[in-house]
């Protein structure tokens, strides 16, 4: 179907939200396409080297916008539940990445095909966050507005620091990808797959109906680690807004992490060095990936990704038995 130089190299590339939506730039579709095109260099270089690639991505801003459209059209159009909004943005963003990446590969003479797979993730519906949601999503409101919406729409709302009140939803742990066998087959044929957008669509298994949706969101990095385990990836590349992870971040004793064994990273995580709202899920994803057979995780920024692949940037996490020589 396509050409590749190796069948032994397989990687998950997890694009952060800054790959498509940039805070300082108006969030139009034209700008999202432009941002997407700028984020593809590392993926193209990995494809050139013969990696079989599965690309995942965040969707936080896009889901927020989708929910805003639901609110603005309430009473005029059928309301869309959160799970459908996740599915819609997974498809729309997958289209943007797929088209932009295929054009770039064709331009550079790399004979690879790209395919987006709308992905469902089975989640743990007994996870504490289902009963006690904590994941902020959507727009900011005044306290009165938020409490009115909570009463009228059965939302859970909380104050988000000093910025206002927002809706909070469950963020349960992903367990397995429903489409994993299809994705593995595509990767075996060297198709570059875009999957688990926004962490995937959360579902659970009903004993009567089978797969059923959950009004929740899934952390993209945790879903990427599950995907990597299930398709046999050796590398997980997490691209975010910072060049490296650090311990004692923001303190005089801050120390950047360059190369770290998974047990050492686990110890830092247990000590609370990685906040749940920022680096925490990325570190947990790295630990999960390595503990289940992955060979390497790199956490770095989009700008430093190519250098990180050469070992000259980023935080590199390895199994304990790996030599750092």
Per-residue pLDDT of 144-168, as tens digits, reads 999 998 998 889 999 998 889 999 9
For residue 3, the model assigns a pLDDT of 38
For residue 126, the model assigns a pLDDT of 87
Band the pLDDT of 206: cuts 50, 70, 90.
Answer: very high
For residue 255, the model assigns a pLDDT of 95
Which residues have a Cβ under 8 Å from the Cβ of 72 and sit 6 or more positions away? Answer: none
Backbone angles phi, psi at 206, to 5 degrees: -80, 135
For residue 8, the model assigns a pLDDT of 55
Average pLDDT (80-90) is 95
CA nearest to 84, candidates 120, 112, 51, 50: 120
Whether pLDDT at 97 is above 90: yes
Average pLDDT (235-257) is 93
Q: Other C-beta atoms within 10 Å of 321: how many?
A: 7
Average predicted confidence (pLDDT) for the chain: 91
Q: Is 55 exposed, middle or buried (0-12, 13-18, 19+ CB in 10 A)?
A: buried
CA nearest to 10, candidates 43, 74, 53, 67: 53
Contact assessment for residue 172 and residue 124, using Cβ atoms and an 8 Å cutoff: yes
Contact assessment for residue 296 and residue 323, using Cβ atoms and an 8 Å cutoff: no
In order of start, what are the domains of the chain with their CATH numbers? 10-124+176-318 (3.40.1160.10), 134-169 (no CATH)
Band the pLDDT of 1: cuts 50, 70, 90.
Answer: very low
Of all helices (H) and strands (E), which one includes residue 317? Answer: strand 315-318
Torsion of CA 297, 241, 283, 162, to 10 degrees: -170
Contact assessment for residue 13 and residue 239, using Cβ atoms and an 8 Å cutoff: yes
The fraction of the chain above a pLDDT of 70, given in percent, is 96
Report field, pTM of the whole predicted structure over 0.85: yes
Query: Which are the catalytic amino acids?
Result: 17-18, 135, 220, 282
Torsion of CA 135, 140, 144, 145, to 10 degrees: -100
Whether pLDDT at 6 is above 70: no
Which spans in 108-192 are helix H?
128-131, 143-153, 180-188
């Amino acid at each position: 179907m396509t050409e590749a130089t190796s069948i032994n190299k397989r990687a998950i590339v997890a694009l952060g939200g800054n790959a498509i939506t940039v805070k300082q730039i108006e969030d139009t579709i034209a700008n999202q396409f432009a941002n997407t095109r700028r984020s593809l260099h590392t993926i193209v270089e990995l494809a050139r080297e013969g990696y079989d690639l599965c690309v995942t991505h965040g969707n936080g801003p896009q889901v927020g916008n989708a929910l805003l459209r639901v609110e603005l059209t309430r009473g005029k159009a059928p309301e869309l539940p959160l799970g459908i909004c996740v599915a819609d943005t997974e498809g729309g963003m997958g289209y943007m990445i797929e088209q932009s990446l295929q054009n770039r590969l064709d331009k550079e003479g790399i004979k690879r095909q790209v395919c987006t797979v709308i992905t469902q993730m089975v989640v743990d519906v007994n996870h504490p966050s289902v009963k006690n949601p904590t994941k902020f999503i959507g727009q900011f409101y005044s306290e009165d507005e938020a409490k009115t919406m909570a009463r009228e729409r059965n939302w859970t709302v909380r104050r988000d620091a000093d910025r206002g009140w927002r809706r909070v939803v469950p963020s349960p742990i992903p367990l397995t990808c429903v489409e994993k066998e299809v994705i593995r087959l595509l990767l075996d044929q060297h198709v570059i797959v875009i999957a688990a957008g926004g962490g995937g669509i959360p579902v659970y298994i009903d004993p009567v109906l089978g797969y059923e949706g959950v009004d929740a969101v899934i952390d993209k990095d945790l879903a990427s680690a599950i995907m990597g385990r299930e398709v046999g990836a050796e590398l997980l590349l997490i691209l975010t807004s910072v060049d490296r992870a650090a311990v004692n971040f923001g303190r005089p004793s801050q120390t950047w992490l360059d190369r770290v064994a998974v047990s050492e990273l686990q110890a830092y995580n247990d000590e609370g060095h990685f906040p749940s709202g920022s680096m925490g899920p990325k570190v947990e994803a790295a630990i999960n990936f390595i503990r289940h057979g992955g060979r390497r995780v790199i956490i770095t920024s989009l700008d430093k990704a190519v250098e990180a692949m050469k070992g000259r940037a980023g935080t590199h996490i390895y199994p304990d038995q790996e030599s750092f020589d």
